């Protein structure tokens, strides 16, 4: 019997040190949302900042805009990325390297270049800046992330499933909807969540393509930060962290339940 491999203490220590460095500011931010005086850890516990956040009308409209843009752009990005992956994966070995490079380009380009190019594109075609342009801009770069996620999901999929469905008389659309899509659904959900996150916290591309009549939450936070920190932002940050964590846990629990069902069957 082989001896168990002992973990490297240095690597383990560096890992926990990095995790602490990353999450300690988040924990302090959450703590500030419930302190009477956010600058003093000895002050008492309070919910007044959460209540002021609820009463503050200046943050709810940008938050609603960001959620709506995130949902629309993530859905569009998933549709484009999934369609591209399904169409190109079977012939990936035949594609020139330039095609793969073009798909990866939105990921590699700096956001300021992407935002400026999209702004010029909308101006050339005389498209009014607003929510539709922001949705298109966010979907244009997040679709690349979704594409590569779906490519990996499709590579894990047994190709014999689609062949069996076609042998049984299923049309290509029926094969995709009844065989391919259910098996890659965790990847679709993960890609949608990633695209939504990329859209929700984007600043630069939103800055270039939103125009004067639309404000997203990152743009609003930036404008507030220029005049000083506001305790309401701590409460908003807590809500965003809580909802993001809850959403991830729900997705993980559904994926784990799916694995148990497949293992039991």
Rounded alpha-carbon distances, angstroms, from residue 96 to 1, 99, 204: 49, 6, 32
Q: How far apart are CA 181 and CA 53, in angstroms?
A: 41
Alpha helices by DSSP H, listed for 1-127, are 9-32, 48-55, 57-88, 97-108, 111-124
Task: Kindly state the average pLDDT of the residues 165-193.
Answer: 89
Can you give the C-alpha Rg of the chain in angstroms? 23
In angstroms, how far is the first alpha carbon of the chain from the final one? 33
What pairs with residue 45 in β-bridges? Answer: 35
Q: Of 48-57, 70-79, 219-228, 232-241, where does the model show the most confidence? A: 70-79
Residue ranges and CATH numbers for the domains of the chain are 9-46 (no CATH), 58-264 (1.10.3720.10)
Q: Which residue has the higher pLDDT, 29 or 139?
A: 139
Contacts 24+ apart (CB under 8 A), 170-177: 176/86
Q: How confident is the model at residue 124 (pLDDT cuts 50, 70, 90)?
A: very high
pTM for the full predicted model:
0.85
**45 DSSP assignment:** B
Residue 265 has pLDDT above 70, yes or no: no
| Phi-psi label, residue 96: left if phi above 0, alpha if psi -120 to 50, beta otherwise | beta
Looking at every residue in the chain, the average pLDDT score rounds to 86
User: Token pair 């499709």 is at which residue?
Assistant: 154
- pLDDT, tens digit (0-9, with 9 covering 90-100), for 81-93: 999 999 888 776 6
Contacts of 96 (CB under 8 A, 6+ apart): none
In angstroms, the CA 74 to CA 80 distance is 10
């Amino acid at each position: 019997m082989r001896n168990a491999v002992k973990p490297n203490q240095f690597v383990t220590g560096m890992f926990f040190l990095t995790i602490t460095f990353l999450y300690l500011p988040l924990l302090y931010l959450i703590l500030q949302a419930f302190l009477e005086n956010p600058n003093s850890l000895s002050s008492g516990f309070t919910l007044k900042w959460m209540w002021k956040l609820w009463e503050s009308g200046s943050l709810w409209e940008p938050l609603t805009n960001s959620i709506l843009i995130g949902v629309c752009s993530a859905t569009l990005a998933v549709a484009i990325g999934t369609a591209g992956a399904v169409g190109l994966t079977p012939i990936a070995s035949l594609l020139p390297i330039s095609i793969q490079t073009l798909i990866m380009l939105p990921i590699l380009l700096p956001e300021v270049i992407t935002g400026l190019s999209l702004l010029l594109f909308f101006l050339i075609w005389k498209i009014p800046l607003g929510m539709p342009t922001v949705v298109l801009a966010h979907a244009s770069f997040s679709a690349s992330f979704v594409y590569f996620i779906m490519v990996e999901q499709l590579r894990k999929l047994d190709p014999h499933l689609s062949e069996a469905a076609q042998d049984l008389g299923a049309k290509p659309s029926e094969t995709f909807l009844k065989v391919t899509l259910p098996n890659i659904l965790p990847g679709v959900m993960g890609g949608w969540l990633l695209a939504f996150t990329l859209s929700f916290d984007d600043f630069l591309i939103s800055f270039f393509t939103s125009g004067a009549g639309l404000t997203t939450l990152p743009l609003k936070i930036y404008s507030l930060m220029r005049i000083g920190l506001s305790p309401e932002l701590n409460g908003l940050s807590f809500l965003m962290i809580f909802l993001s964590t809850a959403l991830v846990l729900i997705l993980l629990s559904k994926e784990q339940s799916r694995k148990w069902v497949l293992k039991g069957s």
